[in-house]
């Protein structure tokens, strides 16, 4: 799962991105509103964490423009501005939730899971098809009733595919979901990852569509 972190405070930004990576997220951290805007436009984020007071473009403006473009990325606003007007404003601009600074990291993770679940259209934290169910809370996959643990990258890949069973995702789309910026991605990284996962999930769990990409069966 890939998160965009928009935070101009170096201390908060670096501790948050480290903690998120420790919790299994792939994180892209940007420090101003204009960069946040272009990162969101590139797409591929499971969710975004957005500070409001930012250089170059205010967080509220980033959010307003993203929603105007039809960008549906789940957004959690992290703010020290706790007035009623501020809270109403960010929700009305299209934030999925907000969290007042300072906050507990566990609560941040829980709120991130909640907004991602809502976007997935599921009231519970399991998504999948008949053969495979992915538990977004424990990050395990259920294969024929057996729970299997997944690595961070395996989880990110399966999450992307199981959000829309049947849809074909290209190599580039999968790479965007699995790897953060600046990560070295070899040309066959996705193939190697999927090859390893087929041993865990069964040979037909993830299917290759020649020249186009990969998909999981729709049911
Ligand atoms: Ca700030």
pLDDT, tens digit, 9 for 90 and up, residues 7-25 = 999 999 999 999 999 988 9
**Statement: residue 210 has pLDDT above 80:** yes
Q: Measured between alpha carbons, how far is residue 61 from residues 29, 53, 66, 201 in Å? A: 18, 10, 8, 43
Name the architecture of domain 2-120: 3-Layer(aba) Sandwich (3.40)
Where are the chain's structural domains? 2-120, 126-215
Q: From the CA of 120, how far away is ligand 1's center (Å)?
A: 29
How far does residue 98's CA lie from ligand 1's centre (Å)?
Answer: 14
- Residue 38 Cα to ligand 1 middle (Å): 18
pLDDT digits 0-9 by tens, 36-83: 999 999 888 999 999 999 999 999 999 999 998 888 899 999 988 888
- Higher-confidence residue of 136 and 68: namely 68
CB 30, CB 5: distance < 8 Å: yes
pLDDT of 124 above 70: no
Distance from the alpha carbon of residue 42 to the mean position of ligand 1, in angstroms:
23
Please tell me the class of the 126-215 domain. mainly alpha
Tokens at 183, concatenated: 């990560």
Q: How far is the CA of 164 from the centre of ligand 1 (A)?
A: 35
pTM of the model: 0.67
Q: What is the mean pLDDT of the chain?
A: 90
Distance 36 CA to ligand 1 centre (A): 13
């Amino acid at each position: 799962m890939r998160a965009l972190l928009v935070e101009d405070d170096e201390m908060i930004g670096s501790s948050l991105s480290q903690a998120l990576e420790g919790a299994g997220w792939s994180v892209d951290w940007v420090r101003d509103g204009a960069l946040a805007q272009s990162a969101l436009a590139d797409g591929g984020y499971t969710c975004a964490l957005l500070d409001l007071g930012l250089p170059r473009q205010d967080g509220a403006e980033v959010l307003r423009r993203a929603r105007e473009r039809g960008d549906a990325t789940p957004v959690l606003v992290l703010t020290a501005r706790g007035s009623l007007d501020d809270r109403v404003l960010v929700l009305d601009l299209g934030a999925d939730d907000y969290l007042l600074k300072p906050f507990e990291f566990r609560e941040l993770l829980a709120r991130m899971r909640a907004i991602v679940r809502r976007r997935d259209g599921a009231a519970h934290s399991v998504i999948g098809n008949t053969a495979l169910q992915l538990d977004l809370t424990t990050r395990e996959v259920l294969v024929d009733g057996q729970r299997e643990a997944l690595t961070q990258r395996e989880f990110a890949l399966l999450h992307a595919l199981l959000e829309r069973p049947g849809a074909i995702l290209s190599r580039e789309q999968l790479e965007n979901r699995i790897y953060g910026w600046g990560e070295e991605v070899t040309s066959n990284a996705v193939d190697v990852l999927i090859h390893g996962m087929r041993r865990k999930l069964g040979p037909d769990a993830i299917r290759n569509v020649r020249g186009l990409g990969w998909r999981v069966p729709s049911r």
